[in-house]
């Protein structure tokens, strides 16, 4: 059992005597959508609102064609649009039914062992373990950034085994919201090794000058690099399942082997084409700026009640650490709020919560609820936070 899961597998009472919710929070297959019940203000899921009108218009325009199978022309149109957006060749694009589809393909690469840079999204581990691929958890400590200095030296836990021929990481990383520098990812490369970077939230990152996607590798043509992208988060399309994978043609050919026909629906293909076009790019820039502004206001409001980000956030979510985090999460439901437990992320546990960036009015309502919950917990254990 890894350290990231250990805390919630104890008995259902924490050290202070506060009852914790059940061990299902430690299940790697549990995601934030399972917390976001109808009627709750959703801080658990990182999807940004609803789809923009231009994407919905594109989908509606193709609804009359649902009686026919998705055509090769539909697929090629989406591939060409993605290739143009990232200055790639068409044979360097593989369409996905959401990013998870790409992770499920990775065992087809025939690797001997994989290293997962943790904490990170749980789906790669699930897919690789199901295929019997040996895994090494390469667990970073705070601030969870590759190459970051910790007490004057590099984190010894961040050493990837030399024999790992597949290394997977998120950038920015879910749930820490850390953005790794390109040069740190470049340093992971070795002869015979494949690097996979999950860039599901890259289109919402900005640098200090306001440049979008400052550390993205989507347009880099390393022969050993695969980049997985998703449009479902930024464009509010989680229910549609649409994304793509970028990389050298020879690696994509191995991933395609044995793939089912009509892997993406016609609406998903139409949406992808719209999202990666010029209008989609402008929308991403607007959203990235909005996220940065909302995140700054959110951090200020969280600080008002004594909560600071566990590390510098670059994505549309913030990681916080607090006492009784699992109990806080459970009680917030009674106050009308859903937040994401980090109990099933390797290297974190049940002392961390992930909070999606939301407008300041919703954040203020959340902080008021957290203050009330803290008082309830203090009364329950005979102390006050």
Contact 25, 8 (CB under 8 A): yes
Question: CA angle, corner 221, sides to 217 and 224, nearest 5?
Answer: 90
Render 159-215 in DSSP notation, one character per residue: PPPTT-SEEEEESSPTTT-----HHHHHTT--TT-EEEEE-TTGGG-B-TT--BSTT
Beta-carbon contacts of 43 under 8 Å, excluding residues fewer than 6 positions away, are: 337, 338, 339, 340, 355, 356, 358, 362, 366
Distance between CA atoms of 235 and 247, rounded to whole angstroms? 23
What pTM was computed for the model? 0.88
Question: What pLDDT was estimated at residue 31?
Answer: 55
The fold of the 32-51+282-380 domain, in CATH, is 3.90.1150
Strands 135-139 and 114-118, sheet pairing: parallel
Q: What is the pLDDT along the chain (385 residues), one digit of tens a residue?
A: 333 222 222 223 333 333 344 447 665 555 545 665 778 999 999 888 889 999 999 999 888 888 888 989 999 999 999 999 999 999 999 999 989 999 999 999 999 999 999 999 999 999 999 999 999 999 998 999 998 765 544 454 458 999 999 999 999 999 999 999 999 999 999 999 999 999 999 999 999 899 999 999 999 999 999 999 999 899 999 889 999 999 999 999 999 988 888 899 999 999 999 999 999 999 999 999 999 999 999 999 999 999 999 999 999 999 999 988 999 999 999 999 999 999 889 999 889 999 999 999 999 999 999 999 999 988 776 655 4
Question: CA angle, corner 168, sides to 170 and 252, nearest 5?
Answer: 105
Distance between CA atoms of 168 and 145, rounded to whole angstroms? 14
Distance between CA atoms of 166 and 114, rounded to whole angstroms? 5
Give CATH 3.90.1150.10 domain extents, the chain: 32-51+282-380
Distance between CA atoms of 136 and 40, rounded to whole angstroms? 37
Our measurement of the distance from residue 68's CA atom to the centroid of its chain's CA atoms, rounded to an integer in Å, reads 33
Distance between CA atoms of 95 and 265, rounded to whole angstroms? 11
Question: CA angle, corner 306, sides to 304 and 307, nearest 5?
Answer: 100
Question: What pLDDT was estimated at residue 156?
Answer: 44
Question: What pLDDT was estimated at residue 5?
Answer: 25
Render 143-169 in DSSP notation, one character per residue: T--TT-EETTEE-GGGPPPTT-SEEEE
Paired with 356 in beta bridges are 317
Give CATH 3.40.640.10 domain extents, the chain: 53-277
Beta-carbon contacts of 273 under 8 Å, excluding residues fewer than 6 positions away, are: 58, 77, 78, 81
Question: What pLDDT was estimated at residue 36?
Answer: 59
The fold of the 53-277 domain, in CATH, is 3.40.640
């Amino acid at each position: 059992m890894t350290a990231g899961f250990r805390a919630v597998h104890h008995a259902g009472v924490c050290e202070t005597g506060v009852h914790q919710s059940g061990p299902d929070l430690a299940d790697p297959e549990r995601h934030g959508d399972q917390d976001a019940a109808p009627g709750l203000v959703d801080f658990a899921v990182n999807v940004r609102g609803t789809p923009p009108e231009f994407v919905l218009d594109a989908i509606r325009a193709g609804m009359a064609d649902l009686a026919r199978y998705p055509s090769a022309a539909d697929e090629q149109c989406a591939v060409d649009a993605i290739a143009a957006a990232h200055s790639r060749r068409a044979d360097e694009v593989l369409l996905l039914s959401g990013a998870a589809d790409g992770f499920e393909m990775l065992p087809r690469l025939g690797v001997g062992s994989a290293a997962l840079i943790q904490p990170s999204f749980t789906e790669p581990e699930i897919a690789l373990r199901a295929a019997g691929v040996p895994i090494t958890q390469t667990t970073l400590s705070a601030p969870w950034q590759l190459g970051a200095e910790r007490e004057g030296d590099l984190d010894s836990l961040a050493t990837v085994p030399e024999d790992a021929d597949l290394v997977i990481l998120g950038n920015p990383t879910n749930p820490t919201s850390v953005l790794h520098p390109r040069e740190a990812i470049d340093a992971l490369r070795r002869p015979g090794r494949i690097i996979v970077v999950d860039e599901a939230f890259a289109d919402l990152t900005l640098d200090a000058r306001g440049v979008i996607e400052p550390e993205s590798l989507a347009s880099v043509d390393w022969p050993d690099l695969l980049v997985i992208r998703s449009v479902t988060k930024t464009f509010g399309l989680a229910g549609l399942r649409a994304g793509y994978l970028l990389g050298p043609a020879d690696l994509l050919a191995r991933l395609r082997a044995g793939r089912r026909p009509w892997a993406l629906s016609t609406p998903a293909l139409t949406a992808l084409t719209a999202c990666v076009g010029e209008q989609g790019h402008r929308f991403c820039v607007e959203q990235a700026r909005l996220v940065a502004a909302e995140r700054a206001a959110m951090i200020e409001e969280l600080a008002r009640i004594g909560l600071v980000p566990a590390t510098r956030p670059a994505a549309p979510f913030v990681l916080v650490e607090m006492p009784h985090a699992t109990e806080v999460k459970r009680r917030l439901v009674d106050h009308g709020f859903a937040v994401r437990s980090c109990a099933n992320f390797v290297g974190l546990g049940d002392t961390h919560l992930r909070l999606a960036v939301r407008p300041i009015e919703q954040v203020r309502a959340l902080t008021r609820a957290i203050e009330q919950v803290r008082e309830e917990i203090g009364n329950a254990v005979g102390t006050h936070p």
